[in-house]
Structure 1
Amino acid sequence: MKTAPILPARVDFSGAIPNAPDFGDLYHAPFGAFAQARQVFLDGNEMPERWAGRRHFVVLETGFGLGNNFLATWAAWREDPARCERLVFLSIEKHPLTQDDLERAHAASPEPALARQLLEAWPAPTPNLHTLDFDEGRVRLMLAFGDAHDWMPELVASVDAFFLDGFAPAKNPELWDDAILKQVGRLAAPGATAATWSVARGVRDGLTAAGFEVRKRPGTGGKWQTTVARFAPRHRAPVPPGRTAVAPQAKDVLIIGAGLAGAACARVLAREGLRVTVLEGGATTAAQASGNPGGLFHGTLHAEDGPHARFSRAAALATERELRRIAPALPWLQWGLLRVERDPQALASMQALLARSGLPADYAQALSAEEAGAKAGLALTQPAWFFAGGGAVSPPALVKAWLDEAARSDGFQLRLNTPVERLHRDDASGRWAALNIVGESIATADAVVLCGGIGSAPLASAWTAGPSWPWVAQRGQLSLMPQDLSPPMLAMPVAGLGYALTLPDGTLCFGASTDGGDMDPTLRASDHSQNMDRLRSLLPSAALPDDMPVAGRVGWRSLVPDRLPIVGALPAAMPERRAEQVRFWPRQPGLMVLGALASRGITWATLCAELVAAQLTGAPWPVESSLADALDPARFAAKAHRATT
């Protein structure tokens, strides 16, 4: 998916109703935004009646605008005692409002408390799918910033109700063309409905061609008629196997591994109402790299906004939201991170890249060496990227907080010292069993998520079609410098070739070395020396000792050569056709993996866990389909197939 800078909306507030001068149209009808939302969109989609008793109900809106339709829907959900368990509201907006304009637009909102929550959660204007949770995660707003023509084909969702609400077709025809309406049909769940205030012939014909039965409905407030539609296609293309829910009726799940990946999955799946059992082979949680005393999280940016940059940005934004939510449960959380460039003359090129990307200052800033040093609290000699939403946290504390949250749900279990030797699936019941070394069943469930890093490789390979995944266990040693030998405390972490951060007790944590498949757990003076060399490069003005006793920690990171995680359902067999595309590979029912988090476990775990949960249950995916394809476990087999054809 190609991305472009997000340009904010221009809103004219001089009249009684906000209007968009770039489109020559009003943002809502004269009789009121909430009245229009209720009469046209809620009543037109037979809501709230249709969501009664449902586990999930999904709405897709083609123009977020001022956000009144979302607020009115949220308010209706809150007021309804028969409401669905979870409401998901997907909305696309090419030109989102600035936060100041959003506040102005809702200064007199009929739902001031809800409007205030929306304003406080308003995301940075980046070309991403931003997931905002309200009411303890029971209401989810998913905002896709960018062109609807780019986003609609990339969404993976089963939509129950469509709010078709762009500016008038005559003034904004691109949002009403056949390409958009065809995607409405692709995303429609069985029995889905659609509603709009527009009765334009082209809109009605487009919905009919997309498989809807269309009719006009009496309007109100000066609008004579509106359009409503119900999805009733004569024929429908099959959904690719990799796009169907892996275990939509699952009631319980086994998670193998209790590091960052396993803990993140436990929290998210428990929130979804599943009974979660975490099986950890070791004596403690966060046993490998997840056990480091401090770890970094931050985004990135590249000249070509390819899959790596897009995923890292989406993951960093999701992590920032999650850490702000869970901050009260964490003993230590530091905001702000500097990533220094190697070239002392790089500032001009950094500023040019930032200008081309259009990314906002609250995501990334290009700072001179002097500006970066002022933020670090220690003089630096190279320019640096500043990520205000990045920072440092204790990985073990984060793992504990996530597992503690999962433990507040019914049926949660954490079982330590419980290694899993292999998996078995019962063909009759469809349930999975985790077996120990003598073949005895440890636990059973409807689904399994492998989160044990490189330790998951044997379990995965036994059930995976195609070549073995090129997993590597990379040894890393970090070093610790006690406070009495350390330079002045860093105000925030500094990263580059290596990293440095000051722990709460004043200890300087820095490193980390990288070795191939070496499994030696002993601390090495040579690795400490390498870490010291990198520290001197990062902090050239700091007074550092020439030598000191080796102190630190050894852990192993799991990674693959393309430097992206492995997330999704395991491929079960080669498809009969289109094997070069991962979405066409059939999947093992209920068997998933979240692994290869490399050195980015804190940054990546939250979004990856959300993707696992969505793929498992059938909820809307939190990333675009092309990005999910780049993370898919079938990508190695698809690549091998392409190489032979």
Structure 2
Amino acid sequence: AHAGSALAELAMQLAGRWPPLTPGLHTLAFEAGRVELLLGLGDARELLRELVLQADALYLDGFAPQRNPELWDDWLLRSLSRLAAPGASAATWSIHRPMRRALAALGFEVALAPGFAGKPEMTVARFAPRHTPQRPAGREPLAPGARRTVIVGAGLAGAACALALSRQGVDCTVVEALPGPAQASSGNPAGLFHGTVNADDGLHARFNRAAALATQACLAELAVPHQRGLLRLETRLPLARMAGVPGYVEALSADEASALAGTGLAHPAWYYPGGGAIEPAAYARAMLAASGAALRLATPIAALREVPQGWQLLDAAGALVEEAPLVVLAGGHGQLPLLGGPLVDLADELTLQRGQLTHLTEAPWCPPLPVAGGGYVIADGGGGVWCGATAQDGDLDPALREADQADNLQRYAALAGLPGPQGTPLSIPLAGRVAWRHEAPGD
């Protein structure tokens, strides 16, 4: 539609990043993250409840007030005023008198100005409330003036923080205790990413969908190699009750899913065309490179000390390593001792979970795309697979265990449609990896 306009190139960029039509908030990044569009798909009144921001400018374009009164009533305008920063501008093509009265009652200075696109007049306003309400403490920034941060940990979490903060204009230094990035829990050779489907589309489903779509976009932007597409078996719902969303997830019969998986699957499946599998370390390295963060490797941090200017990071001898007004701890369970003072209770609420995955160097079934459901299988690109994984809370054993490998091989056999454990090479040498993750209450 915009091919002949002066904005054809920008329109193509927007169309290329347009998300699947799933409800919720979608962040679209342009100009290497320097420009972001937060796109809300769904009921505007519901979405307003989810926004946490202070807007400098508001534009009201909810069609005609007479035809779409829900986007012009007092409740919606009051919601917008709660999101407006003092001095924020507001504008709309409409000169609807009740709307102007409502804006004035909410603290806007309202006036009429020459219109555009054939409109003789339009409404303009500036937010000048007599009283500025105090924002909830949970919505106040921790370090609002910080332009520099030190991030402890160079795994996926630390790399993602560095990329996000650098795109907000924050200068980042990443400190890592190990010789290279992503060598601890983020050092697994392969990992899955995909959204979830839930009948009521609750908070968990929406969060996972947003994370999966953001990962998909970031992998494309950073040109990170990865396996595209993922199947997740559905063992509870019949195919007739499975409804997909174009561009996000498709409901496949057992026969359709089997054709994609290259083996006979016993259940229908959800197919996520934008999901897949990645090497976490490669992803972490790409995010660190894109962030431009300074990277200090083989630099363990033994203690944090709060000072008037922010925080000091100390080594085991008490010597100063780094200092910054903002510190992000992103290094997993090894950093729990750093959570002193009032944060000790937070550390006590976290559950450490051990996971073991198994490597089959010669697999009887090597799927062309990752398959999950009661376990997972990811091809290693050389005729073998990674499969797993176990989950044991509070288990600190770093050694590979035969019992866990047998459990992973049973999962592999079930996914592959093999006759049972006897159909898998149980005599293979113990091979795989152990890693840990934290779980918060309610996870």
Q: TM tier, shorter chain?
A: over 0.9
SS at match of 1:234: coil
CA contact under 8 A between 2:263 and 2:417: conserved in structure 1? Answer: no
Query: Does structure 1 residue 379 correspond to structure 2 residue 259?
Result: no
Match of 1:276 among 172, 179, 193: 172
Write the distance in 1 (CA, Å) between the matches of 2:386 and 2:124: 61
- Please name the residue that 1:173 is paired with: 69
Residues 181 and 441 (structure 1 numbering): CA distance in 2 closer, same or farther, change over 3 Å?
same
Write the distance in 2 (CA, Å) between the matches of 1:338 and 1:221: 49
The Cα of 1:561 is off from its aligned counterpart by 3.6
The Cα of 1:456 is off from its aligned counterpart by 2.9
Residues 508 and 324 (structure 1 numbering): CA distance in 2 closer, same or farther, change over 3 Å?
same
The Cα of 1:287 is off from its aligned counterpart by 2.3
- Please name the residue that 2:320 is paired with: 441
CA contact under 8 A between 1:347 and 1:366: conserved in structure 2? Answer: no
CA contact under 8 A between 2:177 and 2:297: conserved in structure 1? Answer: yes
Write the distance in 2 (CA, Å) between the matches of 1:324 and 1:203: 43
CA contact under 8 A between 1:290 and 1:395: conserved in structure 2? Answer: yes
CA contact under 8 A between 2:353 and 2:391: conserved in structure 1? Answer: yes
Structure 1 counterpart of 2:135, one-letter code: V
The Cα of 1:220 is off from its aligned counterpart by 4.4
Structure 2 counterpart of 1:382, one-letter code: H
The Cα of 1:537 is off from its aligned counterpart by 0.9
Structure 2 counterpart of 1:560, one-letter code: A
Q: Any gaps of 5 or more consecutive residues in structure 1?
A: 1-103, 564-645
Write the distance in 1 (CA, Å) between the matches of 2:344 and 2:356: 35
Query: Does structure 1 residue 554 correspond to structure 2 residue 439?
Result: no
The Cα of 1:268 is off from its aligned counterpart by 1.9
The Cα of 1:221 is off from its aligned counterpart by 4.6
Percent identity, aligned pairs only, is: 47
State how 1:609-624 maps to structure 2 within 5 Å: none
CA contact under 8 A between 2:390 and 2:404: conserved in structure 1? Answer: yes
Write the distance in 2 (CA, Å) between the matches of 1:487 and 1:130: 40
Write the distance in 2 (CA, Å) between the matches of 1:426 and 1:177: 49
Structure 2 counterpart of 1:516, one-letter code: D
Structure 2 counterpart of 1:305, one-letter code: D
Query: Does structure 1 residue 338 correspond to structure 2 residue 231?
Result: yes
After TM superposition, the score normalised by the length of structure 1 is: 0.66
SS at match of 2:396: coil
The Cα of 1:269 is off from its aligned counterpart by 1.7
Structure 2 counterpart of 1:499, one-letter code: Y
Match of 1:352 among 218, 241, 244: 241
The Cα of 1:341 is off from its aligned counterpart by 2.8
SS at match of 1:385: strand
State how 1:461-540 maps to structure 2 within 5 Å: 461-464=340-343, 468-482=347-361, 485-540=362-417
Write the distance in 2 (CA, Å) between the matches of 1:158 and 1:316: 26
Write the distance in 1 (CA, Å) between the matches of 2:350 and 2:183: 19
- Please name the residue that 1:457 is paired with: 336
Q: Any gaps of 5 or more consecutive residues in structure 2?
A: none
Match of 1:416 among 278, 285, 297: 297
SS at match of 1:254: strand
Structure 2 counterpart of 1:435, one-letter code: L
**1:17-61 Cα distance to aligned partner (Å, 9 max, x none):** xxxxxxxxxxxxxxxxxxxxxxxxxxxxxxxxxxxxxxxxxxxxx
The Cα of 1:374 is off from its aligned counterpart by 0.8
Query: Does structure 1 residue 142 correspond to structure 2 residue 32?
Result: no
SS at match of 1:237: coil
- Please name the residue that 1:119 is paired with: 15
Structure 2 counterpart of 1:440, one-letter code: A
SS at match of 1:222: coil
Residues 488 and 498 (structure 1 numbering): CA distance in 2 closer, same or farther, change over 3 Å?
closer
Structure 1 counterpart of 2:146, one-letter code: A
CA contact under 8 A between 1:376 and 1:492: conserved in structure 2? Answer: yes
Structure 1 counterpart of 2:397, one-letter code: D
**1:251-277 Cα distance to aligned partner (Å, 9 max, x none):** 210111111101111122223222211
SS at match of 1:362: coil
Structure 2 counterpart of 1:437, one-letter code: A
SS at match of 2:343: coil
CA contact under 8 A between 2:365 and 2:416: conserved in structure 1? Answer: no
State how 1:278-317 maps to structure 2 within 5 Å: 278-317=174-213
CA contact under 8 A between 1:367 and 1:384: conserved in structure 2? Answer: yes
Write the distance in 2 (CA, Å) between the matches of 1:446 and 1:557: 27
SS at match of 1:282: coil
- Please name the residue that 1:573 is paired with: none
Write the distance in 1 (CA, Å) between the matches of 2:76 and 2:63: 14
The Cα of 1:457 is off from its aligned counterpart by 2.4
- Please name the residue that 1:611 is paired with: none
- Please name the residue that 1:639 is paired with: none
Write the distance in 1 (CA, Å) between the matches of 2:159 and 2:165: 10
The Cα of 1:352 is off from its aligned counterpart by 2.1
CA contact under 8 A between 1:184 and 1:210: conserved in structure 2? Answer: no
CA contact under 8 A between 1:159 and 1:189: conserved in structure 2? Answer: yes
- Please name the residue that 2:424 is paired with: 544
CA contact under 8 A between 2:261 and 2:367: conserved in structure 1? Answer: yes
The Cα of 1:162 is off from its aligned counterpart by 0.9
Structure 2 counterpart of 1:438, one-letter code: A
Write the distance in 1 (CA, Å) between the matches of 2:350 and 2:344: 16
Write the distance in 1 (CA, Å) between the matches of 2:47 and 2:267: 38
**1:85-114 Cα distance to aligned partner (Å, 9 max, x none):** xxxxxxxxxxxxxxxxxxx4x344331111
The Cα of 1:244 is off from its aligned counterpart by 1.7
Write the distance in 2 (CA, Å) between the matches of 1:456 and 1:216: 58
**1:141-169 Cα distance to aligned partner (Å, 9 max, x none):** 11011111111232111111111111111
**1:585-620 Cα distance to aligned partner (Å, 9 max, x none):** xxxxxxxxxxxxxxxxxxxxxxxxxxxxxxxxxxxx
The Cα of 1:307 is off from its aligned counterpart by 1.8
**1:182-237 Cα distance to aligned partner (Å, 9 max, x none):** 12211111211111111111110111122100011122453221111011111121
- Please name the residue that 2:109 is paired with: 213
The Cα of 1:489 is off from its aligned counterpart by 2.8
SS at match of 1:464: helix
The Cα of 1:464 is off from its aligned counterpart by 2.5
CA contact under 8 A between 2:406 and 2:426: conserved in structure 1? Answer: no
**1:379-412 Cα distance to aligned partner (Å, 9 max, x none):** 2122111111110010111111112222xx3xx3
Write the distance in 2 (CA, Å) between the matches of 1:309 and 1:196: 35
Query: Does structure 1 residue 405 correspond to structure 2 residue 290?
Result: yes
Structure 1 counterpart of 2:21, one-letter code: P
- Greater strand fraction, Structure 1 or Structure 2: 2
